[in-house]
Structure 1
Amino acid sequence: MKTPSKFLKLSSLLLLLYFGYSCSNEQETIQDNQLIETKEQQVARPGLKPIGSGVMMQAFYWDVPAGGNWWQTIQGKVQSWSNSGIDAIWLPPVSKAQNGPFSMGYDPFDYFDFGDYNQMGSVETRFGSKTELQSLISAAHGAQLSVIADIVINHNSGGDLEPNPYTGNPYYTDFNPLSGKFYRSASDFHPNANCYSDSGTFGGFPDLSHCQPYVQDWLWKKSNSVAKYYKNVMGFDGWRFDYVKGFEPWVVKEWNNAVGGFSVGEYWDGNAATLDWWSGAAQSSAFDFACYYRMRDAFEGNNLNRLNDDMLWKRNSMKAVTFVANHDTDEIVNGKLLAYAYILTHEGYPTIFYRDYEEWLSKSKLNNLIWIHNNLASGSTNILYTDNDEYVAKRNGYNSSGLIVYINNSNSWQERWVETNWANTRIKDYTGNSNWEPVTQGGKWVKIHVPPKSYSVWAPK
């Protein structure tokens, strides 16, 4: 996540101090009758593509246009995305945040205000109204797409100033959301009587204390908790957990146990072993930052040998969510399409960034790579050759023939003999970058080639 432009309320608006302190456990609200859980609500919604069968779309970027039209913009694209092979869309944080109509949602204030309460300077969020969000989710489900909610539970923002009995200094921890759900006060943040701190704070925001039973109840345990309301009422199918370095992995594990659904954590670390540890402890997928940084070094640093290095997908492909860019980081520039050719032909669950797909790169080429991913890229992976400029790998196939991917970061055509899994078989380049259709030898060897600064993907014709 990025740091919002404003962390705390302007001091000129916060002259009143709250000398009365009330325990958050006394601030319960009446539970919604519609939120009684059933067994059916704990299983995947029927009619949707299985998450991981295709490709995830990150359906936003940092500072998308304000004005409350973003949900409608995305709704107009979900069917075409589904037709192209997308199986899920990841939305930005959907609830009202401190900066109201200008916020990207990463400074959360009221988890149950989806654009229908007049607070923090607006009724709608930056992205639109609750009705428009519900319409988008319904349209996505109609297009067989799952909808991933961005969950920000490390920190909160927008609370009023109140005395803090644990530090002796007043702090912005008095949260009185108009939704009437999940009031918070000093005991719900760090430090408090039970917990001094957890894994880390972010940007000076009040640090939510997950050790407190009241906080656990409102986040995932109660029948109208954030997790259960988002799933059972709003219709979300999975979770992207923001800044999971800020709290312990058991939080994600318990959330997942409470509501199920796909989940992926943003553990921003380039060490594959660390990502593997967090994924196992949280029982969740993780964004493969190790893969991202190795691709950056490979394609921007002109050293494709870096693709031999350790990555999460090589340790546990079922838990690796691969990406080339996102709303926070976009460092692969010159070799970006080559990087997409890499993640869309390799193991892991690939994500496409909205601006790459809709604005910056060739949509037809990305659609071609999505098709290749969904139809040819299966089975284990063998790296066949690497040097500074060339990379060749083989997918061995389990529900398809598999493929050979040849990536070339040099300024000239390259060709190479490779050993395939196919004997006496005519193959073709499914990207259309080459018009060769060679026949593999009886010993399964064949010569393939690739254009400069490009890629080719080979499989039986």
Structure 2
Amino acid sequence: MGHLDSVSDGRESFDGAAVRNGREILIQAFNWESHKHDWWRNLEKKIPDLAKSGFTSAWLPPATHSFSPEGYLPQNLFSLDSSYGSQYQLKDLLQKMQQHKIRAMADVVINHRVGTSQGHGGAYNRYDGIPLSWDERAVTSCSGGLGNRSTGDNFHGVPNIDHSQPFVRKDIIDWLQWLLKSVGFQDFRFDFAKGYSAKFVKEYIEESKPIFSVGEYWDSCNYMPPSYNLDYNQDSHRQRIINWIDKTGGLCAAFDFTTKGILQEAVKGELWRLRDPQGKPPGVMGWWPSRAVTFIENHDTGSTQAHWPFPSRHVMEGYAYILTHPGIPTVFHDHFYDWGGSMHDEIVKLMGIRKRQDIHSRSSIRILEARSNLYSAIIEEKVCMKIGDGSWSPSGGEWTLATSGDRYAVWHK
């Protein structure tokens, strides 16, 4: 069951010492509405602040030409003029990021692609007149093409790409290499990773060699009928994410949807959820922390889509948890820039503690309390934290309060 992390895990990223030693802090640098706001220019102004705050990598929205303004219905993958700005503005942004030593993470949308012309069955399942000019064999038979059946879940309404075709994989690898070598991206986020086999992600990473990559393997948590409350035991949920990471050869991290699902219920007065039956953190973070990318919110779960939002009055408790714990934490743009200056500064303080105390993705953790109104833990034997209404502080004079706020506090030695 599971996959307990060890420092000797040999299946590491190709490059970046930061990834190998687990000192990453990511930011999702957009939301669902960003395409309306001259985004590449808007973001360029924020780069010095992001660098000063300590982010190592910024996940950008899909930069290629798309049928939908948000970027998730791509067509011409080699065109970098998008609703976020022109290719020249993107180049300026990436240059600025490089100067400030923040890696640019490309949002890689390769599960589906909108066709340019009608082919088999009258569907728009051909890609004529643009680079990567595939015919119907590139589209899965379950989504109107002449390819094989999908190796994953179907993304409805648009042609799904058949990754089992060697010519498709060769073209995708060429495109990924172009994003890294010519455009200036360094990291990848794989969109809708449930849509195709993880073995293809493994091949794409091996051939293109990003510094860091993370997959969106978003699966429903386990809920108990008839009331559909969240089940305490989410082992099968995190196991599915672990299995996906395993099939990428451990080369790709994954967003820790298990931790998000549990944490956002726990903060409502059910903090006992944050300790699993083995006494470990209950998400992917508890089993394979160096591959668990933790987060509170993203453009799908929050923003104006709000498919699965984190309770807004508990957001800082969420950050106090993920920014002091093992795993690779991600901060959401809106919390950092749109929820008021004090939240920005509180998050920066937590990031500073993580950095100064050298908390990393594999840091040891000892959970001290996990009851309805109180959770507390010691991380790496040098940081102590609590969240919840319950009043608590660590015993012993060696602890100094480092920061505190509404229902959270962090101490260090």
Q: Which residue of 2 aligns with 1:438?
A: none
Counterparts of 1:304 and 1:267, CA distance in 2: 25
Residue 426 of structure 1 and its aligned partner are, at CA, apart by 3.4
User: Map of 1:143-162 to 2, 5 A cutoff?
Assistant: 143-162=100-119
Call closer, same or farther: CA 1:193–1:61 in 2, change over 3 Å.
closer
User: Is 2:261 the counterpart of 1:304?
Assistant: no
Residue 238 of structure 1 and its aligned partner are, at CA, apart by 1.0
- The answer to whether the Cα contact below 8 Å between 2:150 and 2:196 also exists between their aligned partners in 1 is no
Q: Which residue of 1 aligns with 2:389?
A: 409
| Aligned partner of 1:208 among 161, 185, 198 | 161
Q: Deviations for 1:216-271, whole angstroms, at most 9, x for unmatched residues? A: 11001xxxx11110010001111000001110001110011001121100000241
Give identity over the alignment, percent: 27
Q: Which residue of 2 aligns with 1:13?
A: none
Q: Which residue of 2 aligns with 1:373?
A: 354
- The answer to whether the Cα contact below 8 Å between 2:152 and 2:194 also exists between their aligned partners in 1 is yes
Counterparts of 1:406 and 1:200, CA distance in 2: 39
- The answer to whether the Cα contact below 8 Å between 1:51 and 1:87 also exists between their aligned partners in 2 is no
Q: Which residue of 2 aligns with 1:342?
A: 321
Letter in 2 for 1:109: Q
Q: Which residue of 2 aligns with 1:29?
A: none
Call closer, same or farther: CA 1:265–1:374 in 2, change over 3 Å.
same
- The answer to whether the Cα contact below 8 Å between 1:96 and 1:109 also exists between their aligned partners in 2 is yes
- The answer to whether the Cα contact below 8 Å between 2:270 and 2:372 also exists between their aligned partners in 1 is yes
User: Map of 1:66-215 to 2, 5 A cutoff?
Assistant: 66=36, 69-99=38-68, 103-115=69-81, 125-162=82-119, 164=120, 169-177=121-129, 180-191=130-141, 195-215=148-168
Q: Which residue of 2 aligns with 1:246?
A: 195
Residue 185 of structure 1 and its aligned partner are, at CA, apart by 2.1
Residue 49 of structure 1 and its aligned partner are, at CA, apart by 9.2
Residue 386 of structure 1 and its aligned partner are, at CA, apart by 1.3
Q: Which residue of 2 aligns with 1:318?
A: 290
Counterparts of 2:35 and 2:133, CA distance in 1: 30
- The answer to whether the Cα contact below 8 Å between 1:54 and 1:374 also exists between their aligned partners in 2 is no
User: Is 2:15 the counterpart of 1:64?
Assistant: no
Higher-Rg structure is 1
Call closer, same or farther: CA 1:72–1:52 in 2, change over 3 Å.
farther
Q: Which of structures 1 and 2 has the larger relative contact order (alpha carbons within 8 angstroms, sep 6+)?
A: 2
Call closer, same or farther: CA 1:140–1:416 in 2, change over 3 Å.
closer
- The answer to whether the Cα contact below 8 Å between 2:374 and 2:387 also exists between their aligned partners in 1 is yes
Q: Which residue of 1 aligns with 2:372?
A: 388
- The answer to whether the Cα contact below 8 Å between 1:107 and 1:156 also exists between their aligned partners in 2 is yes
Question: Which segment is superposed worse, 246-255 or 304-313?
Answer: 304-313
Call closer, same or farther: CA 1:292–1:45 in 2, change over 3 Å.
closer
Q: Which residue of 1 aligns with 2:177?
A: 228
Q: Which residue of 1 aligns with 2:215?
A: 265
Residue 44 of structure 1 and its aligned partner are, at CA, apart by 4.4
- The answer to whether the Cα contact below 8 Å between 2:136 and 2:147 also exists between their aligned partners in 1 is no
Counterparts of 1:295 and 1:277, CA distance in 2: 22
Residue 173 of structure 1 and its aligned partner are, at CA, apart by 1.0
- The answer to whether the Cα contact below 8 Å between 2:285 and 2:326 also exists between their aligned partners in 1 is yes
Counterparts of 1:255 and 1:56, CA distance in 2: 22
Q: Deviations for 1:265-284, whole angstroms, at most 9, x for unmatched residues? A: 00002411111111111131
Q: Which residue of 1 aligns with 2:232?
A: none
Letter in 1 for 2:392: E
Q: How many corresponding residue pairs?
A: 362
Residue 407 of structure 1 and its aligned partner are, at CA, apart by 1.1
Call closer, same or farther: CA 1:52–1:83 in 2, change over 3 Å.
farther
Structural RMSD (CA): 2.1
Q: Deviations for 1:397-420, whole angstroms, at most 9, x for unmatched residues? A: 5xxxx211111235xxx13554x7
- The answer to whether the Cα contact below 8 Å between 1:44 and 1:237 also exists between their aligned partners in 2 is no
Counterparts of 2:156 and 2:24, CA distance in 1: 35
Secondary structure of the structure 2 residue equivalent to 1:173: coil
Q: Which residue of 2 aligns with 1:34?
A: none
Residue 52 of structure 1 and its aligned partner are, at CA, apart by 4.4
User: Is 2:313 the counterpart of 1:358?
Assistant: no
Call closer, same or farther: CA 1:200–1:298 in 2, change over 3 Å.
same
Call closer, same or farther: CA 1:209–1:109 in 2, change over 3 Å.
same
- The answer to whether the Cα contact below 8 Å between 2:267 and 2:388 also exists between their aligned partners in 1 is no
User: Is 2:399 the counterpart of 1:427?
Assistant: yes
Letter in 1 for 2:376: V
Counterparts of 1:135 and 1:406, CA distance in 2: 42
TM-score, normalized by length of structure 2? Answer: 0.83
TM-score, normalized by length of structure 1? Answer: 0.75
Residue 113 of structure 1 and its aligned partner are, at CA, apart by 0.2
Residue 340 of structure 1 and its aligned partner are, at CA, apart by 0.5
Residue 193 of structure 1 and its aligned partner are, at CA, apart by 5.5
